[in-house]
Structure 1
Amino acid sequence: MRRLIIIINLSLIVAFMMMFADCSDSSNGRKQVSIGYVNWSEGIAMSYLAKVMLESKGYDVMLRNADIAPVFVSMAAGKVDVFMDAWLPATHADYIRKYGDNLEALGVAYKNARMGLVVPSYVTIRSIEELNEHKEKFRNEIIGIDVGAGLMNETERVIREYPVELTLKPSSGATMVAFLQKSIENKEWIVVTGWTPHWMFSRYDLKFLDDPQKQYGDAEQIQIMATKGFSDKDPYAAAFFRNFSLDNNQLGELMDLVEAYPMREEEGAKIWLSEHPEVNEFFPTFAEK
């Protein structure tokens, strides 16, 4: 069984939970839903789309950004209603084992998600097993994302098991992409921790390195989780999230548009929604709220 090392900054968790202390109250009589999200492109895009759609039905939707551990802690404590970016059965399994008794699964937002080590297509190696032979070309490093992310913990295990003689350098999703873009512009070799769905695959010519040991496992699902009792508290919103599911093309286009509007992600989600009226089928047919 996989063991993930979860690094939790307790002060950040407490601060994050305090942000939600009164999130279930409504001063204007409108129903409220709080959605926690992490700075991962697919989760940002889906969370803003859900916000736009639910607000069209009269909801007040609050989006709160934090690292993965505080999101799960706050959701288990009932301070966050929904998280739309849980990678299962492997990546976030430790969080489910720890907090699952206080959570409920609503649905699958995306199938066939994948993670691993990613390089530009002009890099001539094909497999993780070839990294050591060319480690100098990669500056002896793998550019990672946030400390404590499931992908980072999986990659640390991959480095041990193969083994790989490169050092994993934590950064953030945005910083990782910035390093990738600069290297591609200069035709330099670089290896990063990557995943699909992600808009970078539509913008750059990239490839996953083969994983002959299958250390990263098989394809995963991106599931929508909620605090326990959410379905009873708000059957309409819960049904909406159960119906929420995007295919590869839909999510790819959504991520592209949301990423194209930095600091105005909601605008990108609105444009995408105007071009994809079919997703209004996510709304349940019974009476609203």
Structure 2
Amino acid sequence: MFKRIWKRLGLVVGISLSLLVAGCGSNGGSEGGAADEGKIKLVYVEWDTEVASAHVIKKVLEDQGFDVDITPVDNAVMWESVAKGEADGMVAAWLPATHGDLYEEYKDQLEDLGPNLEGAKIGLVVPKYMDIQSIEELDQYAGKLNKTITGIEPGAGVVKSAENAVKTYESLKGWQVQTSSSGAMATALGEAYKNKEPIVVTGWSPHWKFAAYDLKFLEDPKGSFGKEEHISTIVRKGLKEDMPKAYKILDQFSWTAEDIEQVMLEISEGSDPAKAAEDWVEANQGKVAEWTKGVE
């Protein structure tokens, strides 16, 4: 317990020092007075989706003349730093479930600009060539899959939901969720897909694997994985008054799973995140124009 507390304190100190070095004092809340219009500080959790979105919005803001600092942090620190005004915002809030407890803790200290991406979800994912549609049909592949679901890191939300599904569905009696890492799961999926072998993985969307392979979520009639989520943009209070142009761009930022998966796929294939973001922005000027509409 104490180890977790010290770890969180260390993360808080780390983000505070990082933001201070980046010049946090110029726009960190009421004591700092009016903000520097050219500087903005964003935080994100280092998931594939948020690496992509953070770098894309950074590129868009930079093209509008802003000096943008993006910092990867722990989930809790991400919310806390925006709530305290140590960071200006984030485009990485998974709601209503994944970050629901953090939203409830800090919602009165933040401004929610609403979804920037709809239809995010988690569940069990299989290749489309597998002739099943529901979790209740997985028992047809019990022998070929050795009653094993290929998971990611222990403790991840999608893993916990998969473990709950194993307890809930009669068709999964005797099955196990084999935990490893996101990378190992993706490798196993790629190898199985190449050989057209059956596989079931803990999955979430958006994710680059949906751009790389023909996959499907299995229907979840018992609701073990919850309902669809959205990814929201959250900013500190006072940002609209301090940096109206940046606020407007963040407020108008909205894209689709197909959009973000293009960026994620390029990164997964070895591209630097900044380069992948630059490529996407260049190829999607019409959509970017919607985000920057009305910004002088």
Q: How would you bin the TM-score normalised by the shorter chain? A: 0.7 to 0.9
Q: CA deviation at 1:93?
A: 1.6
1:155 matched to which residue of 2? 162
Per the alignment, residue 31 of structure 2 pairs with none
- Aligned in 2, Cα 1:170/1:106: closer, same or farther, shift over 3 Å? farther
Amino acid at match of 2:181: S
Q: CA deviation at 1:202?
A: 1.8
Moved more, 141-150 or 101-110: 141-150
Could you list the per-position Cα deviations for residues 51-109 of structure 1 after superposition, in whole angstroms to 9, with x for gaps in the alignment?
A: 11111223222222234334234333433332212222233222212232332212321
Alignment of 1:128-139 (within 5 A): 128-132=135-139, 134-139=141-146
Give the CA deviation at 1:253: 2.7
Distance 1:121 1:13, change over 3 A: same
Cα–Cα, structure 1 residues 284 and 97, in superposed 2: closer, same or farther, change >3 Å? Answer: same
The match for 2:222 is 213
Q: Which of these residues, 14, 17, 42, is aligned with residue 9 of structure 2?
A: 14
Residue 267 of structure 1 aligns with which residue?
A: 275
In the alignment, structure 1 residue 282 sits paired with structure 2 residue 294: no
Do the aligned partners of residues 120 and 217 (structure 1) sit closer, same or farther apart at CA in structure 2, a change above 3 Å counting?
same
Residue 223 of structure 1 deviates from its aligned partner by 1.0
Offset at residue 30 of structure 1 (A): 7.0
Aligned to 1:44: 51
Amino acid at match of 1:110: L
More deviation in 9-18 or 191-200?
Answer: 9-18
Instruction: State the match for 2:133 in structure 1.
Output: 126
User: Between Structure 1 and Structure 2, how many residues are aligned?
Assistant: 277
Q: Which runs of 5+ in 2 are unaligned?
A: 27-35
**Pair 1:250-2:259 in alignment:** yes
Q: Taking structure 1 as reference, are residues 223 and 137 closer, same or farther at Cα in structure 2, changes over 3 Å only?
A: same
Deviates more, 1:113-122 or 1:166-175: 166-175
Structure 1: unaligned runs, 5 residues or longer: 1-7
Alignment equivalent of 2:212, drawn from 203, 211, 217:
203
User: 1:286: how far off?
Assistant: 4.7
- Which residue identity lines up with residue 209 of structure 1 in the other structure? L
Q: From the superposition, tell whether residues 223 and 153 of structure 1 become closer, same or farther in structure 2 (CA, over 3 Å).
A: farther
Structure 2 CA distance for partners of 1:268 and 1:189, relative to 1, 3 Å: same
2:163, 2:176 within 8 Å by CA — same for their partners in 1? no
* Shift in CA distance, 211/284, structure 1 to aligned 2, threshold 3 Å: same
Counterpart in the other structure of 1:144: 151
Q: What displacement does 1:147 show? A: 4.3
Q: TM-score, normalised by structure 1?
A: 0.82
Secondary structure of 1:64's aligned partner? strand
Q: Are positions 1:184 and 2:193 aligned together?
A: yes
Deviation at 1:113, TM superposition (A): 2.0
Bigger helix fraction: 2
RMSD of equivalent CA atoms: 2.7
Contact 2:55/2:277 (CA < 8 Å) preserved in 1?
A: yes
- The one-letter code sitting in structure 2 at the alignment partner of 1:245 is S
Partner of 1:230: 239
CA contact (8 A) 2:248 2:295 kept: no
Q: Does structure 2 retain, via aligned residues, the 8 Å contact 1:128–1:209?
A: yes
Task: State the AA in 2 paired with 1:277.
Answer: Q
| TM-score under structure 2 length normalisation | 0.80
